[in-house]
């Protein structure tokens, strides 16, 4: 199985190859399945179709798909609701399931020799038998350290991580043509928020915090490239569970109440405000880890707050006041056109949670 990046005889998945047909960006998480289909015209991206479907309870555990058939049925429902036309998708594995390594290869190798050399070196860096691994690579360019060598990015994962997702996608009647890594998809999607950055991010340092249901990703971009990333166990699910515990609601009722309101007057001071405090502490701690991770780290000039929690009223302002840096709600769809189908599905209200899905859909234009 290939990754986006294969040198094994796997389906055209883990592969950096160029695309001529649209792909659905399919983000499969413990709480939801989100799909985005993009087009491009008039110099702008356009959301052609969108849908989100709740992930069946117990079907995914710690990012591993336990019940591929149940996940596949949920994907099928999302595709139908979205009215998506493409049957080809880009999916992603989590960053902690991927092994990435920058290696050097002599300039001027033929493609066949390059593939053979990468496979030889891959065995040194991958702590699993090669027959259990899916991998790919991309030549990044001439090494700054040695002009006679190219920098080559090697990415690998256990094939079972890919197979789980492929089975779910196949159950939905779709084909996974690209398997990416969430961190790469997120970096790609950040270009959609350049309009929120000074000088469109060129030469600037910007932090992006993406609050998921159970996992949050804190990334720092320097000159539009991710130079630091950290995942930690924190997310909107904790707020849902506190609402359930405090008011005796089911998970579905608590999730709906969070979005639509109607909770008692003590919700804000006793439940929501403490959760926002936890959010800001997590951002502050991540910032400290980043600054201590290497010498001469530059302080970000802006924090873009993404994920479902970014829609909590005033949360970006609270983070800004307590971390001491400007912060605002990140919106990857802010400069996109929307089809009538996507508008009807409420894509705008969910836009902050679509970084990975958008990053995967952008593979259509490689």
What share of the chain in percent tops pLDDT 90? Answer: 69
pLDDT tens for 76-102 read 999 999 999 899 999 999 888 888 888
> How far is residue 158's CA from residue 122's CA, in Å, rounded to a whole number?
13
* pLDDT, position 21: 67
The neighbouring-strand residues paired with 221 are 206, 226
Structural domains in the chain, sorted by start: 195-332 (3.30.420.40)
Instruction: Kindly state the average pLDDT of the residues 356-361.
Output: 96
> How far is residue 48's CA from residue 342's CA, in Å, rounded to a whole number?
6
The pair of structure tokens assigned to 51 is 């849908």
Residue (of 336, 338, 318, 342) closest to 328 by Cα position = 318
- Radius of gyration, alpha carbons of the chain: 21
Work out the pLDDT band at 75, boundaries 50, 70, 90: very high
Contact between 224 and 202 (Cβ < 8 Å)? yes
The pair of structure tokens assigned to 31 is 């709480």
Lowest-confidence pick of 78-87, 115-124, 283-292, 353-362: 115-124
pLDDT of 6 strictly over 60: no
The string of DSSP letters for 282-331 reads: HHHHHHHHHHHSSTTPPPPSEEEEEEGGGGSTTHHHHHHHHHTS-EEE--
pLDDT tens for 179-217 read 999 988 998 999 999 999 999 999 999 999 999 988 999
pLDDT of 259 strictly over 90: no
Three-class DSSP category at 46: strand
Lowest-confidence pick of 125-129, 149-153, 171-175, 242-246: 125-129
> How far is residue 289's CA from residue 283's CA, in Å, rounded to a whole number?
10
The pair of structure tokens assigned to 222 is 């320097």
Could you tell me the pTM of the whole model? 0.89
Instruction: Kindly state the average pLDDT of the residues 253-278.
Output: 91
Work out the pLDDT band at 281, boundaries 50, 70, 90: very high
E strand or H helix at 221: strand 215-222
């Amino acid at each position: 199985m290939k990754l986006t990046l294969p040198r094994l005889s796997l389906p055209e998945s883990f592969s950096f190859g160029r695309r001529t047909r649209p792909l659905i960006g399919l983000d499969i998480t413990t709480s939801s399945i989100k799909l985005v289909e993009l087009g491009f015209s008039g110099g702008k991206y356009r959301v052609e179709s969108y849908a989100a479907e709740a992930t069946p309870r117990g079907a995914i555990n710690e990012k591993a798909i336990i019940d591929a058939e149940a996940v596949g049925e949920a994907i099928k429902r999302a595709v139908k609701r979205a009215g998506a036309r493409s049957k080809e998708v880009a999916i992603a594995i989590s960053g902690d399931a991927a092994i990435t390594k920058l290696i050097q290869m002599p300039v001027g190798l033929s493609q066949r020799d390059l593939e053979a050399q990468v496979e030889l070196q891959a065995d040194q860096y991958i702590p699993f038998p090669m027959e259990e691994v899916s991998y790919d690579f991309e030549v990044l360019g001439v090494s700054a350290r040695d002009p006679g060598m190219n920098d080559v990015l090697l990415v690998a994962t256990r094939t079972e991580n890919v197979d789980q997702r492929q089975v779910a996608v196949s159950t939905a009647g779709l084909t996974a043509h690209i398997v990416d890594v969430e961190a790469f998809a997120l970096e790609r999607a950040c270009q959609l928020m350049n309009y929120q950055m000074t000088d469109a991010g060129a030469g600037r340092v910007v932090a992006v915090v993406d609050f998921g249901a159970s996992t949050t990703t804190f990334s720092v971009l320097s000159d539009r490239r991710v130079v630091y990333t950290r995942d930690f166990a924190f997310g909107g699910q904790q707020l849902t569970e506190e609402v359930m515990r405090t008011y005796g609601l089911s998970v579905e009722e608590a999730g709906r109440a969070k979005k639509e309101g109607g909770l008692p007057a003590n919700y804000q001071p006793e439940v929501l405000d403490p959760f926002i405090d936890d959010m800001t502490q997590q951002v502050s701690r991540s910032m400290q880890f980043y600054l201590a991770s290497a010498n001469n780290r530059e302080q970000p000039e802006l924090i873009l707050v993404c994920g479902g929690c970014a829609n909590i009223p005033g949360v970006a302002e609270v983070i800004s006041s307590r971390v001491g840096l400007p912060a605002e709600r990140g919106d990857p769809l802010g400069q996109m056109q929307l089809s009538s189908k996507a508008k009807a599905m409420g894509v705008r209200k969910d836009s902050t949670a679509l970084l990975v899905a958008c990053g995967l859909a952008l593979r259509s234009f490689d």
